Amino acid sequence: MPHERSITELRAGLENGEFSAVELTRHYLSRLEGSSQDLNAFITVTGDLALEQAKKSDIDRSKGQAGPLSGIPIAHKDIFCTRGIRTSAGSLILDKFIAPYNSTVVEKLEQAGAVMLGKTNLDEFAMGSSNENSHYGHVLNPWDKTRVPGGSSGGSAAAVAAGLCAASTGTDTGGSIRQPSSFCGVTGIKPTYGRISRWGIIAYASSLDQAGPITQTAEDAALMLEVMAGHDAKDSTSIATGVPHYTDSLSDSIKGLRIGLCQEYFDEGLDATTEKLIMEAVAVLESQGAVISEISLPTTRYAIPAYYVIAPAECSANLSRYDGVRFGYRCENPRDLDDLYKRTRSEAFGNEVKQRILVGAFALSTGYYDAYYRKAQQVRRLIKNDFQEAFNSVDVLLSPTTPTPAFQIGEKSDDQIAMYLQDIYTISSNLAGLPAISIPAGMHGHLPTGLQLIGNYLDEARLLNVAHQYQLQSSWHKLSPPAGDAE
């Protein structure tokens, strides 16, 4: 079935005329209308637009003008602004928000010929690790519908895993691409901070937010990233360096590659079966010529504390724009301006969002700024220095993506701290701004397990190369969940 194929395989099918872009799009749309939709992975399906774009793509192809992703049906996390289509960020406050412009990522993928099937579900404003914080209800994990898909890009990861789209965009502030990719058995890369323009992505924590693709394979991730990456004059934090052809280096040998295992990521919090699966994957890489050593990142224990100061502080500033005046939700019959602001925000933000705003406002307030915000920024540099030290002796760092496989819906929703600890292996690379990828590396019973590789700045090509080489020797990324075959 086409939905089990990778982008590379779908491109071949389109090129040799096995199916047209319109036929392929209809196939995915019928899956979205069918029983597969009960995962709640999508907030909005844009069927008419998708068919229009597919038609255009078929015409472009007939004229010999096909782009790199011509006719490939993809989905966008509902945090990327899309012109004329609701962009909700999973929040009631943006439930009726129709962006007047496209984000740079959406624009670039459209220019490359990709077909947009719709917008995927997420934790409200990307704040969460389970997709239980969405105004539109939680997403189910296609491997086990009693479990969470991870978050915050939970809808994106579930949709790719279940074959509801060929690939999806996501964003990652503390692990929001990699953790759901791990839970859903798909490939997800968070590039170097600034590699992809943030313009038109609804902001959560601006110094940590970064977009990336979620795909079936590392090869597909390379294809998507090539299109998504690059400098953008509209985002002054985007990196000016040119974008390499990530697909060119996929087949390079990894003989002699130095892989460091971060000791602190194999601690007592790690599930024993997950550890066993990761070490089996390490053995595969070793058999391909990689040289394995142990590395210490002593500041790891400060990462979650520093994150839960910096991210809420930036969120409290970013979310101050939602005031009921220029766009978004407005409360009924405000008594005065103060009442308008307060009731609008209090009625339309969810609890987790409100709490992060409060923690952030506290950390930035007079008397606490130095002890919290400034201290967290200093710790952040220590974390970066740790990584720089590690990269003097190894090329990439390897770890599990998460301490356990997907947990039950509701299991951690009353224990916020346990939820925050989910991101213990992913959060440091956001603080340091480093690229990192999660790939499927084994089955924990009926649940996927993800392996994480962290690279040096702008070393995405190497991460994709190592991931691809591993995928040539393993078949975990080819497994489909039972829910994906619901038709």
Q: Which residues have a catalytic role annotated?
A: 77, 152, 176
Site residues for other proteins, window 442-471 (CB under 8 A)? 457
Kindly tell me which residue out of 246, 265, 420, 476 binds other proteins, with binding defined by CB under 8 A: 420
Q: Residues 6 or more apart from 160 whose CB is under 8 A from it?
A: 166, 167, 168, 184, 186, 214, 215, 216
* Alpha helical stretches, state H, 203-297: 218-228, 272-287
Token readout for 111 is: 């220019």
Q: Please tell me the distance from the alpha carbon of residue 373 to that of residue 314, in angstroms, as a whole number.
A: 10
Minimum separation from the CB atom of position 48 to other proteins (A)? 21
Three-point CA angle 265, 147, 150, nearest 5°: 50
| 3-state class (DSSP) for residue 362 | helix
**Residue 375 interacting with other proteins (CB under 8 A):** yes
Kindly tell me which residue out of 236, 251, 293, 393 binds other proteins, with binding defined by CB under 8 A: 236
Structural contact between residues 177 and 228, judged by C-beta atoms closer than 8 angstroms: no
How many residues belong to the chain? 487
Q: 332 to each of 327, 328, 482, 485, how far by Cα in Å?
A: 15, 13, 45, 45
Minimum separation from the CB atom of position 306 to other proteins (A)? 6
**Residue 52 interacting with other proteins (CB under 8 A):** no
**Residue 341 interacting with other proteins (CB under 8 A):** yes
Q: Of the listed pieces 70-78, 115-123, 318-326, 465-473, which binds other proteins according to CB under 8 A?
A: 318-326
Q: Please tell me the distance from the alpha carbon of residue 314 to that of residue 430, in angstroms, as a whole number.
A: 14
Q: Give the total of residues touching other proteins (CB under 8 A).
A: 68
**Residue 136 interacting with other proteins (CB under 8 A):** no
**What are the backbone angles phi and psi of residue 205, rounded to the nearest 5°?**
-130, 100
Kindly tell me which residue out of 384, 411, 480, 486 binds other proteins, with binding defined by CB under 8 A: 384
Structural contact between residues 429 and 164, judged by C-beta atoms closer than 8 angstroms: no
**Residue 357 interacting with other proteins (CB under 8 A):** yes
Give whichever of 42 and 308 is closer to other proteins, judged by the CB atom: 308
Q: Amino acid letter at 293?
A: S
User: Interface mask (CB under 8 A) for other proteins, residues 291-310, using x and -?
Assistant: --------x-xx-xxx-xx-
User: Interface mask (CB under 8 A) for other proteins, residues 87-106, using x and -?
Assistant: ----------xx-x------
**Residue 381 interacting with other proteins (CB under 8 A):** yes
By CB under 8 A, name the binding residues for other proteins.
Answer: 97-98, 100, 193-194, 207, 233, 236-237, 239, 299, 301-302, 304-306, 308-309, 316, 320, 323-328, 330, 334-343, 345-346, 349, 354-355, 357-359, 361-362, 365, 371-372, 374-382, 384, 416-417, 420, 431-434, 457
